[in-house]
């Protein structure tokens, strides 16, 4: 399942469409759209006919496939990456009174998971060029209460794993990688998920590889496997004689066989999905004009999985007006993400404007452009034409 690094000079020879899901010129172009082939639909129908809809043989098969991809590491599936993050925090012993360092520019589930186990999220500003957490600022935020670090691979661009492991070793920090967006990405040729840490993946509908809803947790070793399984299903231990016991508080967070069947179908196309996304990203770089005032993402075609193509609007341009105008042109635009620390819930924890200026600047101007298998070169050209036209109007 691992593919070689892309050769940018060959990207334009890659097909920009799948057999299904192609967009028509006048269709509304969403910012993302999953590709589900007929074989996967058939596999889901087979699960429905089997009578086993909850976690069963397909979940076990999906977990084995994920473990193979992750170099044989133990993997357990969940109904979301959020549930996987919460399980990782609990397996790591994080709880009331503890602090967990993470990025303020992420989907709120990252920080919410920390609150869910009774701990406090401690934010560190981001790097401007990668938009990931600035690891050089982590040491200043460490206290005796710091229990773990959750780096986030924004848009599928991996956090520097070399710096991460050096930092973790120097400060005896436990690391839980929020790789919800980076399944299929790699660090220097090693797939995300093959390192020494807890790793949480997402297979939500908008991810490169989807199971509809779902997630997975890669564990550092097999010691916590049994506890991990109990945490995802009400803390229950079942015995051969039909009795059971509940030894700790668990959740209802297991994956269904329906979701696993979708995930297995996606893995078959994983390499093609990756190549098409990279090819579309390359076309964006080639087509977006430098004089439009947009700030483009880091052009990493070796390690990123191009989960999203995100640009920063010029200062002074209303993002709301830009999105409204693009949608009026039939083009869907996403915002990923507004900064977490300025949500009302987190202001109650004492955070406020100006705390993390780089993240606040990026979070106020970032927009996600359409990028998904099924898009054609003409779709990218259409997006870029609309951007140019609308920015000219909004900057007058």
Tell me the catalytic residues: 207
DSSP assignment of 225-288 equals: HHHHHHHTBTTEEE-TTS-EEE-S---B-PPPHHHHHHHHHHHHTHHHHHHHHHHHHHHHHHHS
Residue 292 to residue 228: CA distance in whole angstroms: 50
CA distances in angstroms from 392 to 16, 36, 115, 307, listed in the order given:
29, 37, 43, 28
Residue 32 to residue 334: CA distance in whole angstroms: 9
DSSP assignment of 8-27 equals: GGGGGGS----SS-PPPTTS
Where b means 16+ CB within 10 Å and e means fewer, 58-94 reads bbeebbebbbebbeebbbbbbbbbbbbbbbbbbbbeb
Task: Encode 167-203 in three state secondary structure.
Answer: HHHHHCCEEEEECCCCCCCEECCEECCCCCCEEEEEC
């Amino acid at each position: 399942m691992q593919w070689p690094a892309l050769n940018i000079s060959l990207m334009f020879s890659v097909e920009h469409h799948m057999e299904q899901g192609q967009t028509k010129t006048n269709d509304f172009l969403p910012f993302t759209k999953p590709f589900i082939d007929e074989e996967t639909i058939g596999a889901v129908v087979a699960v429905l006919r089997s009578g086993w809809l909850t976690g069963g043989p397909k979940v076990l098969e999906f977990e084995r496939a994920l473990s193979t991809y992750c170099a044989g590491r133990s993997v357990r599936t969940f109904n979301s990456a959020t549930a996987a993050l919460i399980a990782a925090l609990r397996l790591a012993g994080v709880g009331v009174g503890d602090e967990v360092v993470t990025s303020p520019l992420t989907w709120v589930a990252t920080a919410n998971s920390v609150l869910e186990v009774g701990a406090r999220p401690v934010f560190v500003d981001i790097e401007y060029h990668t938009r990931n957490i600035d690891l050089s600022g982590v040491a200043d935020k460490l206290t005796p209460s710091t229990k773990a670090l959750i780096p986030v691979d924004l848009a599928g661009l991996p956090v520097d794993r070399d710096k991460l492991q050096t930092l973790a070793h120097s400060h005896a920090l436990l690391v839980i990688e929020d790789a919800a967006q980076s399944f299929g990405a790699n660090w220097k040729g090693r797939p995300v998920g093959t390192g020494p840490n807890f790793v949480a993946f997402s297979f939500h509908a908008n991810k490169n590889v989807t199971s509809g809803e779902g997630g997975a947790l890669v564990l550092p070793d097999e010691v916590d496997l049994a506890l991990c399984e109990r945490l995802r299903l009400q803390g229950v231990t079942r015995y051969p004689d039909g009795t059971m016991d509940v030894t700790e508080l668990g959740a209802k967070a297991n994956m269904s066989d329906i979701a696993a069947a979708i995930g297995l179908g996606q893995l078959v196309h994983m390499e093609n999905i990756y190549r098409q996304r990279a090819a579309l990203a390359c076309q964006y770089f080639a087509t977006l004009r430098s004089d439009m005032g947009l700030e483009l993402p880091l052009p990493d075609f070796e390690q990123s999985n191009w989960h999203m193509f995100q640009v920063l609007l010029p200062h002074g341009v209303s993002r709301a007006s830009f999105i409204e105008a693009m949608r009026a042109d039939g083009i869907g635009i996403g915002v990923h993400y507004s900064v977490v620390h300025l949500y009302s819930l987190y202001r109650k924890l004492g955070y406020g404007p100006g705390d993390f200026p780089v993240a606040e600047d990026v979070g106020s101007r970032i927009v996600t452009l359409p990028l998904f298998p099924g898009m054609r070169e003409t779709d990218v050209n259409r997006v870029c034409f609309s951007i140019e036209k609308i920015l000219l109007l909004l900057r007058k």
